[in-house]
Amino acid sequence: MHRLLPYFRPYKRLLLLAIVSNILMSVFLVISIPVLQPFLQLLFDIPRETSSTGILQEATGIQAIEHRLNEYFVELVRTQGRESALLWVCGLLVLTFLGKNLFRYLSLYFMAPVRNGVVRDLRNRIVAKILELPLSYFSEARKGDLMSRVSADVQEVDSSIIGVVESVAREPIIILGSLTFMLYVSPSLLGFALLLMLFAGLVIGRIGLVLRRQSAAAQKRLGLVSAILEETLSGLRIIKGFNAQQWQQARYERENALYASLLTQISRRRDLASPLSEFLGIAAVAIILWFGARQVFAGEMMAPTFITFLYAFYNIIEPAKHLSAASYSIRKGLGALERIEAVLAEPVKIRDQENALPVQVFSRAIEFHNVSFRYPSSEHDVLSHINLTIPKGKIVALVGASGAGKSTLADLLPRFYDVVEGQILLDGIDIRQLRLRDLRALMGIVSQEAILFNDTVRNNIAFGLEHVSDAEIEAAARAAHAHEFICALPEGYHTLIGERGTKLSGGQRQRLTIARALLRNPPILILDEATSALDSESEKMVQAALSRLLQNRTALVIAHRLSTVQYADEIIVLERGRIVERGAHESLMRQNGLYRKLVELQAL
Ligand code: ADP
């Protein structure tokens, strides 16, 4: 439980209120047990004078209290008659249950904001962590994993652990209270009842354990079955082409049959649990009845006392079940919490150094000095010994076959990854010494796919900037040749983009991302040219927007379509992570090397 405490800290007051309510609720429940007794005495018209628990021991504290209560009750019957005494007892019963349920509701009332708050905080922390972690952390597999943690694991923590807090505060008190009463009434009967409960609990617990193991196995099997279905769907063309329908069908049926037979086993076992527990329960009650009734016959105990004892026993069963379920779900919930905490504890490798230098302006040049890089997962260098200078105001274009390392090289500049060897200097200072925030503020990024968010057009342009005036947004949109089409949208700049919103064409999306970069007006631009071809009208607009964006800026352009890089001041040709050619378009064409080959290939 102590692992959970930090999560509850912000909700101390509410939690305290909930726990106090829970305690009061259990107190009322426990009080209701002895209240039942006078009622039964009245009903059976037992001679009041002798009514006591029957076991004649020296008066203990509780006995003294009971004695007083009894005397009071006898007095009540004597002065007011049986009828009104009955009314009193019934009233008292209603009152105790009113108290119990009032506090039960109150505890839930105080607990609701706690559990929802804890879950909200967890979700927020995961997303904050995701935004903080370096890009290198996120492989495709991890993205899926993170999705499941944010949804499934957080849900798991919610339903298990937090529900448990309620029962942990409540059930032990109910159990203790009832046990104390039972112990006081008849220690031997209690010992007997506990033994029976233990036995029934063990039998049912054993079934539960096997069930849980089998459920986990079934979950895995279901995964296999779905995997084959998925394969079937994605491989339909091949399956049909190779006439492998029957083969695939057989594979599926085999897995499916295994799953079904496992499910049958599980169903049978699960269906056994309820009849068995009912039977065991009744058997236990019958044995206790037999044992207790004999004590009643022998005059060792009053009948109402015995019935009250049974009621107390009944009160224990539910809380005991809850507690045992709670211990199981605590373990499950802690497992989920552990997986979440593993993400939260992930070290953030790319962050400000101590005494990171602020930087506001870019004045001379960006230099790559002997830069090498490899991904943690890759076996050899993705970039090796890159030397490159981008003077202020110049445009450098990267070309090369797909996989040559162009995007990787561009990603090093805003420190999405850190170089493995060598260094990147901005105006002579290693970018790792600069404040990350400042460094990235100097750069604008226009990526290959136009990434838009499910928000208004305006917010997609303002993206991350606060206090931007409408005039500024419009100016950026005009410069990006986007103003006209935005005005034609149903709600202009306030139109929602996204699944439920307006669909935009590829060229329009690109112009929005260009407007976004223009609004920021960064001195350095990293431009990953779109690969997908646009229709020529759109193409012209996007090109016009881009050349506007490139004006008076220092830029690193990843060029996919070589026809568009001829304006670059220097073209860098990459092959397998190395610079193989460099120079202006004309001179590269004259060199008759890889660049020329690439150009000619594209011209075909
Ligand atoms: P380009 O942009 O020229 O197509 P990239 O920079 O995307 O090339 O990729 C260069 C090489 O690095 C490729 O071999 C690619 O498979 C590998 N690579 C790219 N991203 C990752 C990554 N996140 N993890 C491991 N390897 C990667």
Same domain, 369 and 329: no
Q: Does 577 sit in the ligand 1 pocket, CB within 6 Å?
A: no
Q: Is the pLDDT of residue 140 over 80?
A: no
The residues near 603 (Cβ < 8 Å, ≥ 6 apart) are: none
Kindly give the distance from the C-alpha atom of residue 408 to the centroid of ligand 1, in angstroms, as a whole number: 6
Q: Minimum mean pLDDT among 36-40, 203-207, 211-215, 458-462: which range?
A: 36-40
Separation of alpha carbons 35 and 490, rounded Å: 71
Ligand 1 mutation pick, 140, 374, 378, 402, max ligand atoms within 8 A of CB: 378
Q: Is 355 contained in some domain?
A: no
Same domain, 321 and 378: no
Give the pairing of strands 421-426 and 524-528.
unpaired
Kindly give the distance from the C-alpha atom of residue 139 to the centroid of ligand 1, in angstroms, as a whole number: 12
- pLDDT per residue over 97-129, tens digit each? 899 999 989 988 998 898 889 889 999 999 999
For residue 435, report the phi and psi dihedrals to the nearest 5 degrees. Answer: -65, 130
The residues near 310 (Cβ < 8 Å, ≥ 6 apart) are: 285, 288, 289, 292
DSSP conformation class of 162 = I
Q: Which residue has a Cα nearest atom 10 of ligand 1?
A: 405
Q: Does 375 sit in the ligand 1 pocket, CB within 6 Å?
A: yes
Q: What average pLDDT does the segment 447-472 reach? A: 87
Same domain, 266 and 370: no
**Ligand 1 atom at minimal distance to the Cα of residue 574:** 3
Same domain, 175 and 67: yes
Q: Which residue has the tokens 């009734």?
A: 293
Q: Which residue has a Cα nearest atom 25 of ligand 1?
A: 375
pTM of this structure = 0.72
Separation of alpha carbons 129 and 124, rounded Å: 8
Same domain, 296 and 420: no
Q: What is the 3-state secondary structure (H, E, C) of 212-266?
A: HHHHHHHHHHHHHHHHHHHHHHHCHHHHHHCCCHHHHHHHHHHHHHHHHHHHHHH
Query: Percent of the chain beyond pLDDT 90?
Result: 28
Same domain, 384 and 310: no
Separation of alpha carbons 452 and 332, rounded Å: 38
Q: Is 223 contained in some domain?
A: yes
Same domain, 334 and 380: no
Q: Is 599 contained in some domain?
A: yes
Same domain, 333 and 393: no
Q: Minimum mean pLDDT among 182-186, 442-446, 586-590: which range?
A: 182-186
Q: Does 138 sit in the ligand 1 pocket, CB within 6 Å?
A: no
Q: Is 241 contained in some domain?
A: yes
Q: Does 531 sit in the ligand 1 pocket, CB within 6 Å?
A: no
- What CATH number does the domain containing 339 carry? 1.20.1560.10
Same domain, 431 and 520: yes
pLDDT of residue 1: 63
Q: Is 350 contained in some domain?
A: no
- pLDDT per residue over 507-540, tens digit each? 888 889 999 999 988 999 999 887 666 777 777 8
Same domain, 429 and 326: no
Q: Is the pLDDT of residue 59 over 50?
A: no
Q: Is the pLDDT of residue 585 over 70?
A: yes
Same domain, 183 and 74: yes
Q: Does 410 sit in the ligand 1 pocket, CB within 6 Å?
A: no
Q: Does 382 sit in the ligand 1 pocket, CB within 6 Å?
A: yes
Q: Is 359 contained in some domain?
A: no
229 and 321 Cβ atoms separated by less than 8 Å: no
Domain boundary residue among 311, 344, 377?
Answer: 344
Q: Is 354 contained in some domain?
A: no
Q: Does 377 sit in the ligand 1 pocket, CB within 6 Å?
A: yes
**Ligand 1 atom at minimal distance to the Cα of residue 577:** 10
pLDDT of residue 193: 83
**Ligand 1 atom at minimal distance to the Cα of residue 398:** 3
Kindly give the distance from the C-alpha atom of residue 270 to the centroid of ligand 1, in angstroms, as a whole number: 51
Q: Is 557 contained in some domain?
A: yes
Q: What average pLDDT does the segment 480-485 reach? A: 90
Q: In the chain, how many domains are there?
A: 2
| Domain containing residue 204 | 2-344
Same domain, 23 and 168: yes
- What CATH number does the domain containing 484 carry? 3.40.50.300
